[in-house]
Amino acid sequence: MWWTASVRPSARIRPRRVKGYPVGLNQNLAVHFSEAEFGLAATWTPAAGGAASSISILFDNGYEDYEFGTVEHSGRAPAAMVQSSEVAGLVVGDTLTIEGVDYRVRTIEPDGQGVTRLVLHA
């Protein structure tokens, strides 16, 4: 068995969730996005022009497999999680520069809890 005799599955501690997030995450998002914790610095540049802004993100550049009918494809699927309040006014086509690489925003997916997922394209 994967548990020890003193800790059985019924005794495991499970974090309580509030609207999809573990308690505490949506209480102070700035802590989780800070560069001192998990965050990564990025620069947001509006496609319509205007000043670039520095924002903190959680970046994922995972490798994924896709199927289109009988055709299989593999590739990177970059995405960024950001505090919604930091990207008010962001639109599809804006640019995020992350670790020296420019990514174009393809989709914007706000979760209604203060976090927005940005699907990116290099």
pLDDT on residue 17 = 43
Q: How many percent of the chain have pLDDT more than 70? A: 78
Q: What is the average per-residue pLDDT within 6-16?
A: 48
**Architecture (CATH level 2) of domain 39-121:** Beta Barrel (2.40)
pLDDT on residue 27 = 58
Find all residues with CB under 8 Å of 79, minimum gap 6, and list them.
59, 60, 61, 117, 118, 119, 120
- pLDDT tens, position by position, 51-92: 999 999 999 988 777 787 888 878 888 999 999 999 999 999
Domain residue spans in the chain? 39-121
Which residue(s) pair with 75 in the sheet?
Answer: 64
pLDDT on residue 103 = 97
DSSP 114: S
Residue ranges of alpha helices (H) inside the chain are 29-33
Which residue(s) pair with 115 in the sheet?
Answer: 83
Which amino acid is it at 15?
P
